[in-house]
Amino acid sequence: MTKKNIITMEHGAGGQVMQGLISKSILGNISNRSAGTVGLDDLDDGATIALPADFNSSYEIVITTDSHVVKPLFFPGGDIGKLAVCGTVNDLTVMGARPVALTCAIVVSEGFEREILEEIIQSMDLTAKEARVAIVTGDTKTIPRNELDSIIINTSGIGFAPRIIRDNGLSPEDMIILTGTIGDHGISLLSHREGFNFNTKLESDVSPLNDLLEKSLQITTHDGRSAITAMKDPTRGGLSASINEMTQKSNVGVILEEEDIPIKSAVRSACEMLGLDPYEIANEGKAIMGVRPEYADEVLELLHSHKYGKDAAIIGKVVAEHQGKVLLRTPIGSLRQLNMPVGDPIPRVC
Amino acid sequence: MTKKNIITMEHGAGGQVMQGLISKSILGNISNRSAGTVGLDDLDDGATIALPADFNSSYEIVITTDSHVVKPLFFPGGDIGKLAVCGTVNDLTVMGARPVALTCAIVVSEGFEREILEEIIQSMDLTAKEARVAIVTGDTKTIPRNELDSIIINTSGIGFAPRIIRDNGLSPEDMIILTGTIGDHGISLLSHREGFNFNTKLESDVSPLNDLLEKSLQITTHDGRSAITAMKDPTRGGLSASINEMTQKSNVGVILEEEDIPIKSAVRSACEMLGLDPYEIANEGKAIMGVRPEYADEVLELLHSHKYGKDAAIIGKVVAEHQGKVLLRTPIGSLRQLNMPVGDPIPRVC
Ligand SMILES: Nc1ncnc2c1ncn2[C@@H]1O[C@H](COP(=O)(O)OP(=O)(O)OP(=O)(O)O)[C@@H](O)[C@H]1O
Ligand SMILES: Nc1ncnc2c1ncn2[C@@H]1O[C@H](COP(=O)(O)OP(=O)(O)OP(=O)(O)O)[C@@H](O)[C@H]1O
Ligand SMILES: [Mg+2]
Ligand SMILES: [Mg+2]
Ligand SMILES: [Mg+2]
Ligand SMILES: [Mg+2]
Ligand SMILES: [Mg+2]
Ligand SMILES: [Mg+2]
């Protein structure tokens, strides 16, 4: 390994050396570099976003941010770059927005291999292309290796939403739809990290959900309200944290049918073995939503027709009783409360 | 110190413990919490930005991002929180945008004192209030203390611009205006960090520049073009990096009058003593701009009337010759080239 391929403090120092890193290793690996007049190639203090042609004052701009500290950087089914793009695309999507542009802020330790940095940027690029978002501006800082021994990526994103979807909009009778199996991300990451071998190939579900959800987000009632009443992406804290938050904020109760919650058998057995609750495990390619009952079948069909929604299922419904509580009906018919988790049982998942 | 006041891994784990930290230590300390329908209090997957009342399709949305790894966290004149807000407010401002909303993404090490975290948030809040921006969404991640021993704050921001100011818009005859003294931030940080004692009180210039520049940004020619032709905030790499970048991108030459560049004598003597070039030292409360000659006096007067622009000065002008080069006329009248710095001589300044 030559010195040239290692990050040094000067790569974060705002001069020629940083410019070289940014133009070669970053810009050189990103395809969608503009969403308005000023984009990534302009290397200005920021970037601009052009308003969409169909923009009108009833639209809102949605903004979100996530920093990613996942460990290890590469894992079955993805890496920190893919995760950083998907995380932000998905937070925009579950708010009802069409993702338009992302920022890319990197903090990297001195001594980090430049080739690995480029691999990560290439993965961000691939994912951004899939999600049809541009990466329009960024920042690069370096830290001495005795103070940070890896890379941290923050992506912020903006999108345009004709109808904002909140996480507090559940109403009694709404159906609860989950777009696929739970626990894949957290369990595959943990297994890979700890060197567990479950004899089954398990991969992270990390994927951008905007295409999967696009058509469902367009379904409206005759008076223009969205068929989807509330939505979240069940990341840290898993399904449990998300559905509890939605339920509490909406002042309703939710009853989930345990038998209908899609879980891969590898995830189920890993959880049993490790004493983990699959409902608390992070997902990075799933959405949980409330849907007005008359549209539930239509949404389900749309989800099933997409590669990321093959395992989508109606997993429960909203009730007026049990306010603020999520109840789980077990296969033998009894009800138990699904509590808001204290934390996420697996650290460093995103 | 009780356990309660220390950050643990669960503070970044997406469950009840993280919720407690966010609602008490973060939301509890931030005043401007909304810029649209969904704001910080809603703790949704992101936030929304309402379009301004005077919004029309000729406006553009500006977006920017910066991560902050400054060391130490508290320094004369500021701290990482103030820096994080100013950095993003200033990048929006120098692009011609009115800053509207910021995100706040924190990566903090296990073992970090919660009281210090709150002090930092309070400082972000004070600065956001001064700059009239809301902090509307965020993210909190924790890292084991053996892998990070401090706090990293990313702020991304969006603003609305009636007229985008680029960094490539310099034209021959434009005056180069600097809004105040250079080097204060880098030198005061270094002195504090290394325990130097220069017998003079020197403070960082970290401040939000949107109010200072608001009126100047509104000056337009009769055909609606901005009186300011190009602008940057001379952060890492200092005045030297910024003016070189503007000059190169604009395909012009720039001649600066060394005698007219405002530098505090404490900064000048510290630089002499330490063998540092003051033009390469980072600033966090200054802007460097090209101004159409007929508006230079008006802009200068506006700057002088504001507390952050007292030392503003015309420091040079744009010429058609010497393309891509910045030349410095020394007090004895000779010209020397001011080169694009290789890096920033002082690490971890922002
Ligand atoms: N990781 C990155 N990904 C994409 N673009 C980047 C990245 N790092 C920097 N850039 C781009 O490079 C240019 C220079 O970045 P830089 O961070 O120096 O600008 P700045 O924020 O104005 O300065 P400072 O960070 O010193 O305040 C900007 O246009 C920025 O968008
Ligand atoms: N440092 C912070 N400052 C301001 N708001 C924050 C901060 N950290 C989190 N929040 C807010 O708390 C809520 C929960 O944050 P969280 O990061 O869990 O959401 P998420 O991004 O949807 O989930 P994940 O990070 O697991 O993908 C969000 O509304 C977020 O804006
Ligand atoms: Mg800048
Ligand atoms: Mg998220
Ligand atoms: Mg930057
Ligand atoms: Mg989310
Ligand atoms: Mg900046
Ligand atoms: Mg988050």
How remote is the CA of residue A329 from the centroid of ligand 3, in Å?
55
pLDDT at A225: 96
pLDDT at A1: 41
Whether B107 contacts B147, CB under 8 Å: no
Q: Which of A117-131, B8-22, B186-200 has the highest mean pLDDT?
A: A117-131
Average pLDDT, chain B: 93
How remote is the CA of residue B139 from the centroid of ligand 6, in Å?
10
What tokens were used for B148?
A: 């990070």
Architecture of domain B175-337: Alpha-Beta Complex (3.90)
Query: What angle separates helix A265-274 from helix A184-194, to the nearest 10 degrees?
Result: 60
Average pLDDT (B97-116) is 94
Residues 157-176 of B with CB under 8 A from A: 157-158, 161, 164, 166-168
| Inter-chain touch A45–B343, beta carbons under 8 Å | no
C-beta atoms surrounding A292 within 10 Å: 18
Whether B130 contacts B86, CB under 8 Å: no
- What is the rounded distance in angstroms from the CA atom of residue B335 to the CA atom of residue B325? 11
- What is the rounded distance in angstroms from the CA atom of residue B257 to the CA atom of residue B213? 23
| Inter-chain touch B137–A64, beta carbons under 8 Å | yes
Whether A338 contacts A326, CB under 8 Å: yes
pLDDT at A199: 66
Please give the share of chain A, as a percent, with pLDDT higher than 70. 97
Exposure string for A152-164, b = 16+ CB within 10 A, e = fewer:
bbbbbbbbbbbbb
Whether B284 contacts B206, CB under 8 Å: yes
How remote is the CA of residue A87 from the centroid of ligand 4, in Å?
5
Average pLDDT (A277-302) is 98
Looking at the complex, report in whole angstroms how far the Cα of residue A304 sits from the nearest Cα belonging to chain B: 25
Q: Residue A283: nearest ligand to its CA? A: 2
The amino acid present at B143, given as its one-letter code, is I
What tokens were used for B56?
A: 């029309």
What tokens were used for B267?
A: 């900064």
Extended beta strands in A34-181, E state: 47-49, 60-68, 74-75, 78-79, 98-109, 134-143, 151-161, 175-178
Residue B81 has pLDDT above 50, yes or no: yes
Which tens digits make up the pLDDT trace of A130-158? 999 999 999 999 998 888 879 999 999 99
Candidates A234, A261, A225, A303; CA nearest to A94 is A234
pLDDT classification of A201: cutoffs 50, 70, 90: confident
Helix ranges (DSSP H) in A196-295: 210-218, 238-250, 265-274
Candidates B246, B215, B229, B245; CA nearest to B292 is B229
| Inter-chain touch B161–A48, beta carbons under 8 Å | yes
What tokens were used for A291?
A: 């849907």
- What is the rounded distance in angstroms from the CA atom of residue B118 to the CA atom of residue B30? 10
- Residue span(s) of chain A under CATH 3.30.1330.10 come to 3-161
Is residue B119 exposed (0-12), middle (13-18) or buried (19+ Cβ within 10 Å)? middle
Candidates A137, A162, A131, A135; CA nearest to A52 is A162
| Residue A329 backbone phi and psi in degrees, to 5 | -85, 120
- Residue span(s) of chain A under CATH 3.90.650.10 come to 175-337
Nearest-CA residue for ligand 2 atom 23 is A235
Interface A:B, Cβ pairs < 8 A: 280
Tally of CA atoms within 13 A in the half-sphere of A175 that contains its CB: 19
SS3 B151: strand
pLDDT classification of A322: cutoffs 50, 70, 90: very high
| Inter-chain touch A141–B91, beta carbons under 8 Å | no
pLDDT at A105: 97
Contacts of B144 in chain A (CB under 8 A): 347
SS3 B253: strand
Is residue B146 exposed (0-12), middle (13-18) or buried (19+ Cβ within 10 Å)? exposed
Average pLDDT, chain A: 93
Which tens digits make up the pLDDT trace of B240-260? 999 999 999 999 999 999 999
Average pLDDT (B161-168) is 92
Average pLDDT (A166-171) is 96
SS3 A310: coil
* Cα-based angle B69, A284, A55 (whole degrees, multiple of 5): 80
Please give the share of chain B, as a percent, with pLDDT higher than 70. 98
pLDDT at B274: 93
pLDDT at A48: 86
What tokens were used for A134?
A: 């541009």
pLDDT at B1: 41
Average pLDDT (A90-104) is 95
Which residues are bridge partners to B113 per DSSP? B6
Whether A53 contacts B57, CB under 8 Å: no
| Residue A311 backbone phi and psi in degrees, to 5 | -100, 15
Whether A210 contacts A99, CB under 8 Å: yes
The amino acid present at A241, given as its one-letter code, is A
- What is the rounded distance in angstroms from the CA atom of residue B114 to the CA atom of residue B122? 12
Residue B103 has pLDDT above 50, yes or no: yes
Q: Is residue B88 within 6 Å of ligand 1 at its C-beta? A: no
Least confident piece of the model among B43-52, B106-115, B254-263, B290-299: B43-52
Whether A93 contacts A132, CB under 8 Å: no
Looking at the complex, report in whole angstroms how far the Cα of residue B240 sits from the nearest Cα belonging to chain A: 9
Average pLDDT (B55-83) is 92
- Give Cα separations from A297 to A173, A224, A291 (angstroms): 14, 19, 9
- What is the rounded distance in angstroms from the CA atom of residue A340 to the CA atom of residue A186? 18
Average pLDDT (A257-280) is 96
Average pLDDT (A157-179) is 95
pLDDT classification of A3: cutoffs 50, 70, 90: low
Candidates B239, B241, B308; CA nearest to B279 is B239
Report CA torsion sign: A305, A309, A313, A318: negative
Domain topology for B3-161: 60s Ribosomal Protein L30; Chain: A; (3.30.1330)
Task: Compute, in degrees rounded to 10, the torsion defined by CA atoms A167, A247, A328, A316.
Answer: -50
- Indicate the pTM of the whole model: 0.95
- Give Cα separations from A69 to A39, A144, B105 (angstroms): 26, 17, 12
Whether A267 contacts A309, CB under 8 Å: no
Closest Cα in chain B to A233: B45
- What is the rounded distance in angstroms from the CA atom of residue B134 to the CA atom of residue B35? 6
Nearest-CA residue for ligand 2 atom 15 is B139
pLDDT at A294: 98
Residue A96 has pLDDT above 60, yes or no: yes
pLDDT classification of A4: cutoffs 50, 70, 90: low
Which tens digits make up the pLDDT trace of A32-70? 898 888 889 988 888 888 777 777 667 889 999 999 999
Mutate to test the pocket of ligand 2, among B16, B22, B120 (most ligand atoms within 8 A of CB): B22
pLDDT at B150: 92
